[in-house]
């Protein structure tokens, strides 16, 4: 368990947490923090300044660019630093529309992160046609339907590499091949993939790829957009000449330095993720499914090795999460951005999971810093938490059974 100090009023409270929400954000790696500190404290020059104090910051930026490029098999010149995954996603969509004025259609999926879906919805209000492809009950796409949905005026196809709620992985290389064959640009939101899957953007054949630093043990406030060499590109933010004219705004030097160091660590730790972390996730999932009645896993294979989304029938996820929170366990009911909204997850709805069941789904997402003891801690408490909530439910589980059966997977 990691020891964190929470500032609370005047007191500092020592608090043990079991963190199972690594798809929402991740703990900063101490190595990344150490690499950043000199650029926060000492070398604060503007990387665009010509004097050597600025050049020092620019050099750190370029070193980090090489490291993040290596993480995705790209060359440094193909990396544009941004402020977050959301900005990278918007930039890719807007660039495709701006560089191809005759093309006013976007093709994406119903299970993208709101950073894509909401922006597509606002583009629809500006007259852009958007197709949101459905998924099946396992969360998979029909690639024949994808190909059939490409139109002569399709400016870009945007499909995430891995889903943040279920961990379901999409066949990005096959989608890229379809897009190449049909001469359509392809963007993938790979925010959940680095450190969990080996990534090679040029080999996969994508034109644009989004990453966000805070999902791989680097700080919040930094992201990147991979823009394949010789791809037509229009900046989203206009202004200064930063990022070789591709993204205006002074770069977050320290954050980017942390991003670079975290990218190196992510590559070194890929085997650990695929063995130790995967085994912990599997143990957590299998034990929950076998010891807590009326549970099932959401999302088929292939799946990220760290993610487990579980439906607990006859309870509300919010109640489960509050009870876990009191025990110091952090998990989630879907993407953090929809927390607090009463609507069931759009991802689970798209998989045909009815609102009754979707409201009882909890996502556990593991990471490098999780331990077997933390898994034990969840397993020690969760069955009682669920049993207590079910017993306290206004209607008994039995009374709700018929409705639940009707609301199940299709």
Please identify every residue annotated as catalytic: 337
Complex with ligand PLP: residue 189 or 313, whichever CB lies closer = 189
Residues binding ligand PLP (CB under 6 A): 84-86, 113, 115, 160, 164, 189, 191-192, 212, 223, 335
Least separation, in Å, of the C-beta of 390 and ligand PLP?
Answer: 30
Least separation, in Å, of the C-beta of 181 and ligand PLP?
Answer: 26
Q: Is 348 helix (H, G, I), strand (E, B) or coil?
A: helix
* Beta strand segments in 32-184, E: 79-82, 105-109, 129-133, 154-158
Residue of minimal Cβ distance to ligand PLP: 85
The pair phi, psi for residue 252, each rounded to 5°, is -80, 80
Least separation, in Å, of the C-beta of 115 and ligand PLP?
Answer: 4
Instruction: Give Cα separations from 124 to 115, 129, 132 (angstroms).
Output: 15, 6, 12
Complex with ligand PLP: residue 111 or 382, whichever CB lies closer = 111
Q: Which residues contact 24 (CB under 8 A, 6 or more apart)?
A: 332, 335, 336, 365
Q: Which residues contact 282 (CB under 8 A, 6 or more apart)?
A: none
Complex with ligand PLP: residue 39 or 259, whichever CB lies closer = 259
**Residue found under tokens 């994508």:** 206
Least separation, in Å, of the C-beta of 332 and ligand PLP?
Answer: 10
Q: Which residues pair with 246 in a beta bridge?
A: none
Least separation, in Å, of the C-beta of 59 and ligand PLP?
Answer: 26
Query: Under a CB-based contact definition with an 8 Å cutoff, are residues 317 and 386 in contact?
Result: no
CB atoms within 10 A of CB 283: 14
- The DSSP bridge pattern shows strands 185-189 and 129-133 to be unpaired
Complex with ligand PLP: residue 91 or 212, whichever CB lies closer = 212
Complex with ligand PLP: residue 212 or 242, whichever CB lies closer = 212
Phi-psi region of 101 (alpha: psi -120 to 50; beta: other; left: phi over 0): alpha
Q: Which of 65, 63, 70, 67 is nearest to 202 (CA)?
A: 70
Q: Which residues pair with 309 in a beta bridge?
A: 298, 363
- Can you tell me the distance from the alpha carbon of 335 to that of 175, in angstroms, rounded to the nearest whole number? 24
């Amino acid at each position: 368990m990691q020891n964190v100090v929470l500032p609370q009023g005047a007191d500092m409270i020592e608090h043990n947490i079991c963190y199972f929400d690594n798809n929402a954000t991740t703990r900063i790696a101490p190595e990344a923090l150490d690499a950043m500190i000199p650029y926060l404290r000492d070398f604060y020059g503007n990387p665009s300044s010509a004097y050597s104090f600025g050049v020092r910051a620019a050099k750190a930026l370029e070193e980090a660019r090489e490291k993040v490029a290596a993480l995705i098999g790209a060359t440094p010149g193909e990396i544009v630093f941004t402020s977050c995954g959301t900005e990278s996603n918007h930039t890719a969509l807007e660039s495709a529309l701006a560089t191809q004025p005759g093309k006013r259609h976007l093709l994406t999926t119903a299970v993208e992160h709101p950073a894509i879906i909401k922006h597509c919805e606002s583009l629809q209000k500006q007259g852009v046609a958007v197709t949101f492809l459905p998924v099946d009950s396992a969360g998979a796409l029909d690639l024949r339907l994808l190909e059939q949905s490409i139109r002569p005026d399709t400016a870009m196809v945007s499909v995430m590499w891995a889903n943040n709620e279920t961990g379901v992985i999409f066949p990005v290389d096959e989608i890229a091949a379809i897009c190449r064959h049909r001469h359509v640009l392809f963007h993938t939101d790979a925010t959940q993939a680095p450190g969990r899957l080996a990534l090679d953007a040029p080999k996969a054949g994508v034109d644009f790829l989004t990453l966000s630093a805070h999902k791989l043990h680097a700080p919040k406030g930094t992201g990147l957009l991979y823009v394949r060499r010789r791809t037509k590109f229009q900046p989203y933010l206009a202004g200064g000449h930063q990022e070789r004219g591709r993204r205006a705004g002074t770069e977050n030097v320290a954050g980017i330095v942390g991003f670079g160091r975290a990218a190196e660590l992510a590559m070194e730790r890929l085997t650990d993720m695929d063995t130790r972390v995967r085994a912990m996730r599997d143990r957590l999932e299998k034990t929950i499914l076998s010891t807590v009645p009326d549970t099932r896993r959401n999302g088929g294979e292939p799946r990220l090795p760290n993610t487990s989304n579980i439906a607990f029938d006859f309870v509300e996820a919010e109640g489960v999460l509050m009870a876990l929170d009191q025990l110091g366990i952090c998990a989630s009911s879907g993407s953090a951005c929809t927390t607090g909204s009463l609507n069931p997850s759009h991802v689970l709805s798209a998989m045909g999971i009815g609102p009754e069941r979707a409201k009882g789904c909890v996502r556990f997402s593991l990471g490098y810093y999780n331990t077997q003891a933390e898994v034990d801690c969840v397993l020690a408490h969760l069955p009682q938490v669920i049993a207590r909530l079910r017993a306290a439910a206004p209607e008994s589980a039995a009374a709700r059974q018929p409705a639940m059966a009707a609301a199940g997977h299709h």
